[in-house]
Amino acid sequence: MLITTELGDITRVDADAIVNAANTTLLGGGGVDGAIHAAAGPRLLEACRRVRRTAYPDGLPVGDAVATPGFDLPARWVVHTVGPNRHRGQTDPALLASCFTRSLDVAADVGARSVAFPAVGAGVYGWSPGDAAAAAVGAVRGWGGDGVEHVRFVLFSERLGDAFDAALGRP
């Protein structure tokens, strides 16, 4: 599997699936979540409401993932995952790693060959760039599934880019 990093706006990425750093409600929020909901248009919110009604009435659990169509995004799919919130005592790196492996599982299930990830957990959920990058890269490298050929880490700052490049062993 090819793993790359780039600075950019995940809502503009041409990939089969992009990953949303969602909250448990799946009903939008700030940061990456808000940007994806805004760019995808109102049908994304309705799809998320449907997921809540039918599959996750109590909210999507931390570390799990679910897919919806991408609607107005270049990506065909949005894979929503909920990172652990360090500010709420959710400090287990395995929960953060699960966001990446479960997202890859779900992306593969819908037929995605290319998947773009943000730095799940590295925003308002309080994970340091280095810890988020280590969990993400370790999870992606260790993923045992089939189908996904290219993982792109699409990062919004040089600080995150540097952390992900370091985790990948790149200068």
Distance, in Å, from the CA atom of 77 to the CA atom of 80, rounded to the nearest integer, reads: 10
Pick the catalytic residue: 14, 16, 33, 58? 33
* C-alpha torsion 59→11→140→47, nearest 10: 30
Q: Which run of H or E residues covers position 153?
A: strand 150-155
Question: Can 131 be counted among the known catalytic residues?
Answer: no
| Cβ-Cβ contacts under 8 Å for 131 (sequence gap 6 or more) | 93, 96, 121
Q: Can you tell me which residue has the tokens 């990939």?
A: 15
Q: Does residue 153 contact residue 5 with C-beta atoms inside 8 Å?
A: yes
Other CB atoms within a 10 A radius of the CB of residue 4 amount to 13
> What's the 3-state SS for 94-128?
HHHHHHHHHHHHHHHHCCCCEEEECCCCCCCCCCC
Residues noted as catalytic: 33
